[in-house]
Chains A and B, each alone.
Chain A
Amino acid sequence: MGENLDTLLSELTELNENIYNSAKQLKTAIEAGNNTVHITGELFRAFHTIKGLGGMSGFGTLAKFSHSVENLLDRIRKAEHPCTMETVNLLILSTEIIDIFIDSIRAIGTDAVENTVLDSFHRQLSRELETAAQTRIDTAELDFLSPQLIRQLNEMELARLKENVRTRQNVYFLDVSFPFESFDTGLRKIQDGINRDGEIIATLPGEDTATETHITFKLLLASPMSPEEIRALAPRTAVLTRIHEGRPEKSIVTGATEEGPGQPATLPAAPLTPATGGRTVKVELKELDLLLQDMEEMALVKNRIAAILDPLGGSDKIGHTIQQAKFQMEMLDRRIASFQKRIIHYRMVPLASIFRRLESATIRTAGQLGKKVKLSFDGGNTRVDKQITDMLVEPLIHLLRNAADHGIETQKARKQAGKPETGSIKLSAYQQGSSVFIEIYDDGQGINPHTILEKARALGMAEEKQDYSDNEIFDFIFRPGFSTSENVSDISGRGVGMDVVKTELSKLGGTIRIRTRVGEGTHFYIQIPVTQAILPVFFIRSGETVLGLPSLFVEAIHPYEAARCTYVRECLYYRLNGEASRAIHLPRLLKVDDLDTEIGIVVQIRHFDRVFAFLVEDVIEEKEVTITPLTGKLSQLPLFSAICNFSANSVGYILDVPELISLLRGSHEPA
């Protein structure tokens, strides 16, 4: 791919991210009844830039698409069209389409997007433009201004004034006088203060003519701030006159928001122009991977040198030199570890970076189904490895679309059930140790385990006469080919999806569980590692090899007591804290069990609400390690997901605990 194309894609991606962020700010501003002019202005400029970039690079379809959104934003700017939640939805949907453009340009070098996608968007856009035609305000309604002043305002200023009157903002004149040498900074201070959630509609010449030392202005402004707050922005000599009364003014509230405590509730939109010329460089993720790989190789070589030096020593001069070399090796070890941690840190991005794609997909699905859905996010600041966040997008979209499709009922059904017409879907994320937990819950109809079991039996997945616990029944949902939907649609019913969700999460070293209550809703719990590149593990000796058991699953470690073992229907159990937990004799499972094998330790594993006992020979140590995923033929090895350095003569094999437990659950475990 050419460098120019790389730059273009990078700019488009950044602009698209900014559009999404501004759309979210727009939503907040609309909800709070604040002025939206600055945000729509920034959005207008972003689409205008994309149009320009598309046009210059020969991507006419992209340019035409951007122009259509730019047109809507221009009408909003000129107060010819109201700024509503529907506008916000259209903007979020447009970011999804820009993503498709970006993917297409990256993959095949052209801006080929399916006509059905564009047509559907344009239909919604046209509907919005037609149905929300602005009720124009006659200039007669601006009778608080003298005709002479109205004549001084240009078309845009007049439109903005009308819009502020329509949205019941307080309108003021602020007469200010500044010394010539500092009028620009004085004006900027007022602009910055007013623009926070109001606007300066026009800057007119002051009524007093300029003196030799001062210049005067008459600012026409709209703001929800109190007159005292406005006066505080201006010089003491300034005169503030309210010329139109809107809603009662309010103080700017500062409080805890997702951005952090103490931030203004609504901030002006972030600048949309891509940052250039700063003291940063962009680095591809694969370059960081290569650095990590190099560092791993270096650690391996260091281990080999350490193994050579290890048996050497003595009190003579050579022995002293070897001691020094060993000391330097330890220093090198620390430097390598520090370097690895730093690289890992660079890979971390906030989960909010993928919320845009999740939201647009959910809005689209709800729109197609004619359902009212309110989607909210929490914990967007939770940081996760970039590679993991990228791979999370599809599974999460699938879960959210499923929630909108299967979970949330129709408006009629919700009304009958005594629920609000608008269904609620919430995604929240938080970090705990080296894991990130993502929960998705809806207040829909829930999942009936009897329906699932019936379908599983009909599909031959469940035994006719066997009893199943609810957890086991919900596990059928994640089996390939399972679907309860009678109708096949674009959204669901093809029996593909939930198994893919589970498989994709497993690839990330993650797991998923369901909790549901009929009539109340469904709750998905996802646990993923913060990063796939570095992992705290317990090293376990197993025959000639060393295994790594990810610490996130380890609840406790106990000495082994043979008397606690018991067999139930040929399945091994181990009594932990008075309860029999399903046990795995690891050497026997891996077929490295021989006469020398002696179980010495029991590792208590927690997988959501269930406890398992892993019987092992010995636990060596707990350590944070850089892991390398198994690829190619090695990826076919069951039960292992990655390797890591352990010593000069040994690598550690990272056990795929969720996979192991899943196999165990599917192995005719007694209910």
Chain B
Amino acid sequence: MNPLEPILLVKSGQSLFGIELRYVREIVSDFPIFPLPAKFRNISHLTILRGTPYAVLDNEYYLRIEHKNRERLILLIGQMAISADEAVRTISPEQLSRQENKTEHATSFIREVVQFRNRIIPILDIQAILNDRPDFEFIPT
């Protein structure tokens, strides 16, 4: 099993989740957000930062987080963006302990579940998210 890595603790609505720090390229607070031209299960919006468009992931699909208000932050992860309300803090691996049972957070996009103080934190599987293709079935009319 790979050793734990430093994570960024992120809050969206009432939910907390972790992203391995090495994936986080930038955190942006002032960002325009645009709807997509078709319905995709895994991408919710598009944002443009410094002229470059990024796909904003659908948190409901990847994290099972239902959050009605518009998030205030965008975390750039490679060529995609994750929306959130707050980047709480970074946490070093020594402060985290692995949890064997991750059934409560079971999605194929959760790499593992860790405990920080008395909170259970799911850590996103960024590679799995990057490899997840948008589902769009072509049904000619």
A653 touches B141 (CB 8 A): no
B46 on interface, CB distance cutoff 8 Å: yes
A651–B55 alpha-carbon span in the complex (Å): 13
A639 cross-chain contacts in B, Cβ below 8 A: 38, 136, 138
A545 cross-chain contacts in B, Cβ below 8 A: 34-37
A252 on interface, CB distance cutoff 8 Å: no
B36 cross-chain contacts in A, Cβ below 8 A: 545, 637, 653
B50 cross-chain contacts in A, Cβ below 8 A: 293, 297
A585 touches B141 (CB 8 A): yes
A633 touches B46 (CB 8 A): no
A590–B141 alpha-carbon span in the complex (Å): 10
A292 cross-chain contacts in B, Cβ below 8 A: 51
* Selected A-B contacts with CB under 8 Å, 16 pairs: A300-B51, A583-B141, A588-B141, A589-B140, A589-B141, A590-B37, A628-B52, A631-B79, A632-B78, A633-B54, A634-B53, A637-B38, A637-B40, A638-B136, A640-B37, A663-B140
| Distance to closest chain B CB from A580 (angstroms) | 15
B79 touches A637 (CB 8 A): no
| Distance to closest chain B CB from A620 (angstroms) | 14
B134 touches A638 (CB 8 A): yes
A542 touches B37 (CB 8 A): yes
* Candidates B35, B52, B134, B141; contact of A544 at CB < 8 Å: B35
A632 and B80 in contact (CB under 8 A), knowing A300-B48, A643-B46, A667-B140? yes
Closest to A586 in B: B141
B141 cross-chain contacts in A, Cβ below 8 A: 572, 583-585, 588-589
Known: A572-B140, A653-B37. 7 other contacts (CB 8 A): A583-B141, A589-B138, A628-B51, A636-B133, A637-B43, A639-B38, A651-B53
List chain B positions with a Cβ less than 8 A from chain A.
32, 34-40, 43, 46, 48, 50-55, 78-80, 130, 133-134, 136, 138-141
Highest count of chain B CB atoms <10 Å: which of A547, A636, A639:
A636
B79 touches A632 (CB 8 A): yes
A-B contact count (CB 8 A): 99
B53 touches A297 (CB 8 A): no
Closest to A296 in B: B51
Residues 561 to 585 of chain A near chain B (Cβ within 8 Å)? 571-572, 583-585
A300–B133 alpha-carbon span in the complex (Å): 29
Interface of B is mostly: loop
Closest to A585 in B: B141
* Candidates B43, B80, B136, B140; contact of A664 at CB < 8 Å: B140
Chain A 616-637, CB-CB to B under 8 Å as 1, else 0, gives: 0000000000001011111011
A365–B133 alpha-carbon span in the complex (Å): 40
A592 on interface, CB distance cutoff 8 Å: yes
A330 on interface, CB distance cutoff 8 Å: no
Closest to A544 in B: B35
A300–B31 alpha-carbon span in the complex (Å): 11
Chain A interface size range: 35 or more
| Distance to closest chain B CB from A622 (angstroms) | 19
A634 touches B54 (CB 8 A): yes
| Distance to closest chain B CB from A343 (angstroms) | 13
Highest count of chain A CB atoms <10 Å: which of B36, B50, B134:
B36
B79 touches A293 (CB 8 A): no
A585–B140 alpha-carbon span in the complex (Å): 8
A640 cross-chain contacts in B, Cβ below 8 A: 37
A592 and B39 in contact (CB under 8 A), knowing A633-B80, A634-B46? yes
* Candidates A571, A585, A637; contact of B136 at CB < 8 Å: A637
Closest to A648 in B: B32
B52 touches A293 (CB 8 A): yes
Highest count of chain A CB atoms <10 Å: which of B38, B50, B133, B134:
B38
A117–B35 alpha-carbon span in the complex (Å): 53
| Distance to closest chain B CB from A655 (angstroms) | 8
Chain A 34-53, CB-CB to B under 8 Å as 1, else 0, gives: 00000000000000000000
B53 touches A584 (CB 8 A): no
A481–B1 alpha-carbon span in the complex (Å): 40
A304 on interface, CB distance cutoff 8 Å: yes
Closest to B42 in A: A633
A585 cross-chain contacts in B, Cβ below 8 A: 141
B130 touches A630 (CB 8 A): no
A630–B134 alpha-carbon span in the complex (Å): 14
A610 on interface, CB distance cutoff 8 Å: no
The 8 nearest A-B residue pairs measured at CB: A632-B79, A293-B51, A590-B38, A585-B141, A633-B55, A653-B37, A545-B37, A667-B140
| Distance to closest chain B CB from A112 (angstroms) | 33
A471 on interface, CB distance cutoff 8 Å: no
A343–B51 alpha-carbon span in the complex (Å): 16
| Distance to closest chain B CB from A574 (angstroms) | 11
A590–B37 alpha-carbon span in the complex (Å): 7
| Distance to closest chain B CB from A486 (angstroms) | 35
A664–B140 alpha-carbon span in the complex (Å): 7
A155 on interface, CB distance cutoff 8 Å: no
| Distance to closest chain B CB from A347 (angstroms) | 16
A304 cross-chain contacts in B, Cβ below 8 A: 32
| Distance to closest chain A CB from B98 (angstroms) | 29
A297 touches B51 (CB 8 A): yes
A630–B54 alpha-carbon span in the complex (Å): 8
A279 cross-chain contacts in B, Cβ below 8 A: none
| Distance to closest chain B CB from A49 (angstroms) | 41
A591 on interface, CB distance cutoff 8 Å: yes
A226 cross-chain contacts in B, Cβ below 8 A: none
Residues 482 to 523 of chain A near chain B (Cβ within 8 Å)? none
Closest to B130 in A: A633
Closest to A655 in B: B37
| Distance to closest chain A CB from B48 (angstroms) | 6
A197–B35 alpha-carbon span in the complex (Å): 66
| Distance to closest chain B CB from A443 (angstroms) | 39
A332–B43 alpha-carbon span in the complex (Å): 34
| Distance to closest chain A CB from B29 (angstroms) | 16
A632–B133 alpha-carbon span in the complex (Å): 11
B38 touches A591 (CB 8 A): yes
A663–B140 alpha-carbon span in the complex (Å): 8
B32 cross-chain contacts in A, Cβ below 8 A: 300, 304
A633 touches B136 (CB 8 A): no
A294 cross-chain contacts in B, Cβ below 8 A: 51
B48 touches A651 (CB 8 A): yes
B140 touches A571 (CB 8 A): yes
A651–B34 alpha-carbon span in the complex (Å): 7
A451 cross-chain contacts in B, Cβ below 8 A: none
Closest to B81 in A: A633
A653–B39 alpha-carbon span in the complex (Å): 14
* Candidates B35, B53, B136; contact of A643 at CB < 8 Å: B53
A633 and B43 in contact (CB under 8 A), knowing A588-B141, A640-B37, A653-B37? yes
A543–B43 alpha-carbon span in the complex (Å): 17
| Distance to closest chain B CB from A96 (angstroms) | 35
| Distance to closest chain B CB from A28 (angstroms) | 46
A651 touches B134 (CB 8 A): no
A664–B141 alpha-carbon span in the complex (Å): 9
A633 and B39 in contact (CB under 8 A), knowing A300-B48, A583-B141, A628-B51? no
A545–B48 alpha-carbon span in the complex (Å): 16
A667 and B51 in contact (CB under 8 A), knowing A633-B43, A634-B46? no
A300 cross-chain contacts in B, Cβ below 8 A: 32, 48, 51
